Amino acid sequence: MQRLRRRRRALAVAKGADATYTSAMTLPRMPAAVIFDMDGLIFDTETLYQEAFLAAAIAGDHDLPRAVIEGAIGVPWAQSRAIILAHKGPDFPVDQYFALMVTHFDLLAATELRLKPGVVELLDVLDELEMPRCIATSSGHVTVQNHLSAHGLSERFDAVIGHGDYVTGKPSPEPFLMAAKRLGMEPAACLALEDSHNGVRSASAAGMMTIMVPDLLKPTPEIQSLCTAVVDDLHAVRELILAASVG
């Protein structure tokens, strides 16, 4: 337990360090729709997942380095599974470890699931502008609906593209392309909001205007080159959309 507490303090420091980013002054065009990632963008879940991965490693007395845990978060489980097995070898009890991680995550999420700053305010503006919006996530539909329901957001998105809806996940563009199609929009008319590197790669490859709102991972030069803007939070996204609406 002491190891987990120390880890939580380290994560809080890492997330807060150098958290100011330079935003583009304006969007290149007014979006016709907005596509949201979920984990780390709408909900502050990425830290909870890191804690759950770590707690499962401690409980099973497994030595999993931070880099492996970070690489296994925010991608479909099949991809996470391959990352862990590549590091630990084929005899590692990866499915047992995953089940234990999910148990820890569910316990944490039951009491510690928080909205990221600016979510409600951004959704309010999208309502005012009558702008459709969709979630494109690596999480499954049950998880998405549980999280949305916990914060009264179930009716505030027009569609959800989740795990099982596409063949290849992020960084493939398929989740974002499917989201645009579900909303009846051309990808170039959509604004994608992401917190992860693979999410930015996915949205950019889909041809969307892409804004990164960093969570655990800072943007690299490559990631910055794929973004229309990198901003601190969804309040800043709201301001960009409002500015575009009157431009």
Q: Can you give the pLDDT at residue 216?
A: 84
Q: Catalytic residue at 233?
A: no
Query: One of 37, 195, 215, 233 is an active-site residue; which one?
Result: 37
Q: Can you give the pLDDT at residue 20?
A: 66
Q: Can you give the pLDDT at residue 13?
A: 39
For residues 62 and 148, what is the distance between their CA atoms, to the nearest angstrom?
33
Helix axes 119-128, 234-245, angle to 10 degrees: 20
Q: Can you give the pLDDT at residue 22?
A: 56
Helix extents (H) in the chain: 2-16, 46-59, 66-71, 77-88, 94-112, 119-128, 141-150, 174-183, 197-205, 221-226, 234-245
End-to-end CA distance of the chain: 53
Q: Catalytic residue at 91?
A: no
Helix axes 46-59, 2-16, angle to 10 degrees: 150
Q: Can you give the pLDDT at residue 225?
A: 96
Give the residue ranges of the chain where pLDDT is below 50.
1-14, 16-17
Report the CATH fold assignment for 21-44+116-245: Rossmann fold (3.40.50)
Asked if 228 and 27 touch (Cβ cutoff 8 Å), the reply is: yes
Around 225, how many Cα atoms within 13 Å sit in the side-chain half-sphere? Answer: 3
For residues 241 and 94, what is the distance between their CA atoms, to the nearest angstrom?
43
Predicted TM-score of the model (pTM):
0.86
Query: One of 39, 195, 215, 233 is an active-site residue; which one?
Result: 39
Q: Can you give the pLDDT at residue 124?
A: 98
For residues 72 and 246, what is the distance between their CA atoms, to the nearest angstrom?
41
